[in-house]
Amino acid sequence: MNAIFKLAYLQTCSLWRAGALRVLVFALVLAVAAITAVSFFTQRIDTALNQQGSLLLGADLVLSANHVLADNFEQRATKLGLASVRSYEFPSMVMFGNSSQLVEIKAVGQGFPLRGDLTIGATTNEVGQVVKTAPKLGQVWVEPRLAHLLNLQVGSVVEVGERKFSVSAILLHEPSRGGDMFGFAPRLMMNAADLASTKLLQYGSRAKFQLLLAASPEKVNQYFKLTQPELTHGEKIQDLRNARPEIKLALEKAQQFLGLSAMVSVILAMVAMLLSSMPYIKQSLDSFALMRCFGASQNKVMQFLAIQTLLIAFFSALIGITLGFIAQLGLAQLAASLFVEALPPASLMPMLVGMIASLAMMFAVVLPHAWQMQHISTMNILRRETLMQPLSVQLKFLPAALTMSAMLFWQAQDFKIALATIGVILLLCLLVIVCAYGFVSLTARLLTLSPQNHTLNAVKLGVLGLKRRFVISTIQMIGFSMGLMVLILLALIRGDLINNWQASLPVDAPNRFVINIQPSQIDGIHQFFAHQHIKNAAVFPMVKARFISKNGMRVKPEDFNDERARHLAEREFNLSWAMKMQSDNQLQSGHWWNASDEGKPYISLEQDLAKTLGIKLGDQLEFEIAGSPITLTVTSLRKVEWDSMRVNFFAVTPPGVLEHFNANYISSFHLPFQVDGPLNLLLRQYPNLTIIDVAALMQQIRGIMQKMSSTVQYVFAFSLIAGSAVLYAALVATHEERILDATLLRVFGASRRQVAIAYVAEFSCIGLVAALVAVIAANLLAYYMSAHIFNIPFTFNFSLALLALLISAAIIPFAAWLGLRRFLNIPPRQLLNSI
Amino acid sequence: MQRTPIIQAQNLYYEIANHDHYIRILQGLNLTISAGEQVAIIGSSGSGKSTLLSLLAGLDVPTSGQVLVEMKSFSSLDEDGRALVRARNMSFVFQSFQLLPALTALENVMLPLQLTQHIDARELSLQALDAVGLSQRVQHYPKQLSGGEQQRVAIARAFATKPRILFADEPTGNLDNATGEIIIDLLFKMNSDANTTLILVTHDMQLANRCQRRLQLDNGVLTDLV
C-alpha cells in the first residue's frame, strides 16, 4: 500500500508539473472556497445566536408583552428566587435644539442587564468601560449613530417627551440590540423610573413591555413551566433556545439564499472540472493501461486511482478552505452587522463541509472513468479504441449531475426552493442554447451574403468554428452568462428598483407619518395643518382589537399553514372607522355603507388580508377590544393602494361602532424636503407624538439593502470567476483542436492576421451571446420582481445593459487571444509535430 | 538441443462481434516459442498480428483455445493472475512508444520498476537510459524528444525490468528508415545481451529476417517461414 501511495503521489506531482491538473484543481478550489466562505459566515452568526443567547436576551428568560405585564409575574419570580428587572422599548422622538430624531427608547430598571454587560464611553471612538447598570435618574445614554445625527456630546441636554435629560455617556455596545436589520432607529437608553414623567407612554402607544429574569437553569426552567401555560394573547416568553427568533429567521433565510448563491459557483465549477478533466482522464487511462501491461493488478490500479483522486481532492480542499476562510472575513465585514453586533471566531465544521464537498465533486468526475477502465480491455485502451466505445454523454455526466443536485437540495433545505433553483438554471441553459443557435445561424447567413474580402472571410471562419464546436461553445456561454446575469440583477435591485419606486410616487405624496396622537390633540393637529398650509391631511382613529373568532369558530394561529396568515391571526388589528371610503381604495365586492348604516356592526376588509385568512363576504368576525367582545359582519372587500403613502387600514367600520372605545390617532402628510422646523414646533407642543420621516427611513432601508446586495454580489463574484474557469477549461479542452485548426489554416495560406481575426470573431460571438442572455434574463427577472413582488414600475437600464455587453464582448476574446498569440509565431511544421 | 518452451498457443481462436455476425481473426492457431528465441510474426495490415501478440501477452483473452507460459495455463488465469505473470516475466515496446507525456524520460523508465516495488528503481533506470545513449536527456519530457529518442526511452523501459519475454509491436512503425535501423540495432543488441525471448510483430520483411524464426499470419492461420 505504501508503494502504491508513493507512486500515486509522485505521478500526481508529475501531472501537476505538466499542467494537466491546473484548471481542474482551480475549479475545485473555487467551489470549495465559495461553499466554505458562506458556511463560515453563517455558522459564526449561528454560533453567536446559540452561544450568546443569554447576551442577546440580556437575561436567561424574557417575558414580553404589548401591554403592561401583570405584577404576579414579577412576584412569582421573587418567590422562586429569580433576579428580575423590567424594561420598556418603544419608538419616540428626541429633540436637541431645533433638531428632532426618531429613536428607539429603552427604559431599563436597575440591575439591567442581568446577563452580559453594556459598554459606555465619553466619546464615540474609544474602547469604553464595561458597566452593569442602568443610566442614573435624569440621565440618558445615546448610541454613536444618534450622537452623530444630532451632534450630541456628553453633557448635551435633550428633550424626551415632557422631560429634559442630560446625555451622560455614549452607549458603545449593547449585546441585546441585534444587528442593523433589527434596529432602524438609533438607541436612547434611560432609567425606567424616569419613564412616567416623560408621559410618552399613553393609551395606544406601541411599546414592548418586558420582564427580564435570570437564575440557575433549574429555577429558570421551573418558572418557564409555571408561566408558559398562563400566557395570554400578546404575551410571549423567550429563553435561550428561542432567543431573538426574528434574528434566527433572518439568518435562516440568509443561510438559504447565500448557500444557494454559492451553489451557482459550485455548479459552474463542476462544469469546469468536467471539461478540464478530459486531458487528465485521457492521460490517466494511458497510465493505467500501461501499468496493467507491466503487471499491475486491477485492484492496484483502482487503488492508484482512488489515492490520486483523494490527493487532488484533499489538497484542493485545503487551499479552498483557506481561501474560503479569508473570503468570509470580507463577508463578515460587509454583512455581520446586519444580524448581530459581534461575531465569535469560526469553528471547524465548515472545514469538514468543504472537505466533503471536495471529495464528492472529485469522485463524481472520476467515477465514470473508473467504471470505464474496469470494462474495457487494456489493449483497447492502448489502441485508442476507447474513442470508438466511449461512455455515452449521459452516463459520463450523470454522477456529476446527481452530486450537484444533491448538494443543491442539502443547501436549500427545502424541496421546492431547490427544485425552483434547478428550474431557473435549466431555463437559463435553454435560453442560451436558443440564443446561441439563432445568433450563429443568422450571423453565418449574413456573412454568406456579404461581399468577399479577407477580413470578412476570416470572421466567417470564426463563426463557422463556433458552429463546429457548438456544444462546447454553448457550455462556455452558459458558464459566463450565469455569473454575469446575477451580478446585473443585483445591480438592478440595489439601485434601480428603489429609485424607480420613489420616482413613481407623486411629488406631493405624504412623506411624514405622525402616530400616538391623543384625542385631546386632534384639534391642535388640524390647526397645525392649517397653519402650515398642509392640504389633504386627515387624522384617522385607531382602535387596537384582537381577532377572536370567525362565524363562531375560534381563530387560532396554529390553524393556518401560511406564515403570513399565522402572523395576522396572532397580531393585534388596528380598526378604524370612516363614513367615506378613501380615494386610493377600490371596492372589489360587497357594498360600502351610507349614512343610514351609521352604528351598524359592519366591517370592510382589505381583500388580500381577507383571502389570506379565508374570510368572505357575510362572515361574522368577533373581536375583543379592551376586554369587550364585538361582532362585525363583513360587508365589503377593498383593494388598497398601499404605496400611495397615505394612511390606510385593513379593517374599517362605519362611524358609531367603535367611538366608545379608547383610540389614538394617526396622520400622514407632505412636507418639503428638510423643512423640519414646523415639526419641531409640533413636537414641543405635543412631546408624546412620534414622527416618522419616510425619506430618512427609506435611506436606512436603502443602506441595509445595499449591504445585503453587496453581500450577495460578493458571493456571486465567485460565480463570475467560476464562469471564467468554465471558459478557460473549454479552451484547454479544445486547445489541441484549435491549434491544429489554426495551423492548418496557415499551412493552406491564411495569414496570421486572418487566423487571429477568426479566433477573435469566434470568441466575440461567445461573449456577445453570453452577455445578451445575461442582460435579457436579468431584466426579465427584475421585471417579474417589480411587477409581481414589489408592485413598482420597471424601467429598462440601457446603459447597464450596454456596459455588460461591451465588457463581455471585449474581455472574452481578449483572454482567448492571449492563449493563441504565442502559437502564431511558431512555424506550422513544428506545431504539427508537437500535436 | 531442445529448448524449453517458454510460451505456447494451443488451438487459439479469436472472434469479434460485428453487428449481427462474428469476424474470426485467428483460426485454431498453434505456436510454441522456446526460451531465448527471436521470433518475428509477419503479416499484412489487419491480419491479426497485434491481436495475436496481445493474446500471447495476456492483454486480452481468446474466444477459445489457450495460451501457456512455461507450460502453465496463462489465458485461463483471471486479469490479476495474468498481470502478475506479466509483472514477473514480460515487457513491451509499442509502435506509438506509449510514453506518458506527464512523466520525464527517467520517470517513464522507472514506472514498471516502481510497480514491482523495486528498491533500486532509479539506479536501474539510469543505467538503462545510459545503455540506450540518453543519459543526458533523463529529465526531458516525451514532447521534448524526437521519435527515435522516445522509442529508445521505451526500449530502456522494456529492458530495465530484465524481462524473460519482450513483446515488440511494430517498433519502427512510426519512425523513418534511418532511425528505424538504429532502433532495431539497439533492440537486438540489448535483447542479445539480456538473453530475452523476443516476439516481434512487423510487416517489414527486412526486419523479420533479422530474427531467428519467422512466422507468417494470413487469414488467421500461422505458418512457419523457412
Q: Which residue of chain A has the CA closest to B52? A: A379
Average pLDDT over residues A11-39: 87
Distance from CA of A369 to the nearest CA of B (A): 18
Determine the distance in angstroms separating the CA of B167 from the nearest CA of chain A, rounded to an integer.
Answer: 11
Q: What are phi and psi of A235, to 5 degrees?
A: -115, 140
Cβ pair A295:B84 closer than 8 A:
yes
Residue A387's pLDDT band, with cuts at 50, 70 and 90, is: very low
Flag if B161 and A294 touch (Cβ within 8 Å): yes
The predicted pLDDT at position A241 comes to 66
Residues of A384-401 as b/e, b for ≥16 C-beta within 10 angstroms? eebeeeebeeeebbebbe
| Cα distance between residue A657 and residue A661, in whole Å | 9
Q: What is the mean pLDDT of residues A518-543?
A: 86
Would the CB atoms of B107 and A297 count as touching at under 8 Å?
no
Q: What is the per-residue pLDDT for B44?
A: 83
- Cβ–Cβ of B100/A377 closer than 8 Å? no
Confidence of residue A825 (pLDDT cuts 50, 70, 90): low
Say if A281 is an interface residue toward chain B (CB within 8 Å): no
A472 versus A181: the higher-pLDDT residue is: A472
Residue B7: the pLDDT is: 95
The pLDDT tens digits for B136-195 are 999 998 889 999 999 999 999 999 989 999 999 888 888 888 888 888 998 898 888 888
**Residue A296 touches chain B, beta carbons under 8 Å:** yes
Whether residue A275 contacts residue A475, with contact meaning beta carbons closer than 8 Å, is answered with yes
Average pLDDT of the residues in A802-822 = 79
Using a 10 angstrom Cβ sphere, with 0-12 exposed, 13-18 middle and 19 or more buried, the burial of residue A697 is middle
Q: Give the mean model confidence (pLDDT) for residues A534-550.
A: 86
Interval A140-168 mean pLDDT: 92
Shortest distance between the Cα of B111 and any Cα of chain A, in A, equals 8
Is A834 in CB contact (< 8 Å) with chain B? Answer: yes
Q: Is the CB of residue B90 less than 8 Å away from at least one CB of chain A?
A: yes
| Residue A375 in this model has a pLDDT that exceeds 70 | no
Q: Name which of A187-191, A267-271, A708-712, B24-28 the model is least confident about.
A: A708-712
pLDDT in tens, A758-782: 888 888 888 888 888 888 888 888 8
Burial A644-674 (b: 16+ CB within 10 A, else e): bbbbbbbbbbbeebbeeeebbbbbbbbbeee
Interface residue A119 vs chain B (CB under 8 A)? no
Residue A246 pLDDT exceeds 70: no
Report d(CA B88, CA B80) in Å as an integer: 12
Whether residue A357 contacts residue A35, with contact meaning beta carbons closer than 8 Å, is answered with yes
Say whether pLDDT at A563 is over 50: yes
pLDDT at B119: 82
| Structure confidence at residue A710 (pLDDT) | 76
pLDDT above 80: residue B134:
yes
pLDDT at A384 over 60: no
User: Which carries the bigger pLDDT value, residue B202 or residue B79?
Assistant: B202
More confident residue, A45 or A37: A37
User: Which residue would you say has higher pLDDT here, A164 or A414?
Assistant: A164
What is the pLDDT confidence band of residue A745, given thresholds at 50, 70 and 90? low
- Say yes or no for a CB contact (<8 Å) between A286 and B98: yes
pLDDT level of residue A675 (50, 70, 90 thresholds)? low
- The predicted structure's pLDDT at residue B127: 94
pLDDT one-digit tens code per residue, B3-57: 789 999 999 999 887 777 788 889 899 999 999 999 999 988 888 888 898 899 8
| pLDDT category of residue A577 using cuts at 50, 70 and 90 | very high
Residue of A477, A551, A565, A562 whose CA lies nearest to A768: A477
Largest CA distance in chain B: 55
> Residues 26 to 45 of B: which have CB under 8 A from any A CB?
none
d(C-alpha B56, C-alpha B35), whole Å: 14
Q: Which residue of B has its CA nearest to A377?
A: B60
Distances (CA, A) of A234 to A65, A160, A222: 5, 27, 22
CA distance B163 to B113: 11
Is there a contact between A298 and B79 if contact means CB atoms under 8 Å apart? yes
Mean of all residue pLDDT scores within chain A: 82
Q: Decide which of A407 and A826 is more confident.
A: A407
Report phi then psi at B137, rounded to 5. Answer: -120, 20
Residue A92 has pLDDT above 70, yes or no: yes
| Contact with chain B for residue A389, Cβ under 8 A | no
Q: Which of A290, A387, A826, A831 is the best substitution to test chain B (most B C-beta atoms within 10 A)?
A: A290
How confident is the model at residue A688, as a pLDDT? 81
Chain A environment of B60 (Cβ under 8 Å): 377-379
Beta carbons of A268 and A80 less than 8 angstroms apart: no
The residue with greater pLDDT, A447 or A358, is A358
Instruction: Count residue pairs from A and B with Cβ separation < 8 A.
Output: 80
Q: Is the pTM of this model over 0.90?
A: no
**Is B146 part of the contact surface with chain A (CB cutoff 8 Å)?**
no
The pLDDT score that the predictor gives to residue A184 is 67
Comparing A269-278, A464-473, A730-739, which segment has the lowest mean pLDDT?
Answer: A730-739
A383 to chain B: which residues are within 8 Å by CB?
Answer: 50
Shortest Cα–Cα distance, B163 to chain A (Å)? 10
The predicted pLDDT at position A388 comes to 40
Instruction: Tell me which of B115, B170, B175 to substitute to probe the interface with A (most A C-beta atoms closer than 10 Å).
Output: B115
Look up residue A598 and give its DSSP letter. Answer: T
The C-alpha cell at A250 is 433572518
Q: For position A386, what pLDDT does the model report?
A: 43
pLDDT at A832 > cutoff 60 = no
Question: Of A10, A283, A292, which has the smallest distance from its Cβ to B83's Cβ?
Answer: A292
Average pLDDT over residues A535-542: 84
Q: Which of B60, B101, B111 sits opposite A294 (nearest CB)?
A: B111
Partner residues linked to B34 by β-bridges: B5
- Residue pair B216/B223 in contact by the 8 Å Cβ criterion: yes
pLDDT tops 80 at residue B215: yes
Is residue A267 pLDDT above 70, yes or no? yes
pLDDT digits (tens, 9 = 90+) for A102-132: 899 999 998 888 888 888 999 888 888 988 8
Arithmetic mean of pLDDT, A471-497 = 76
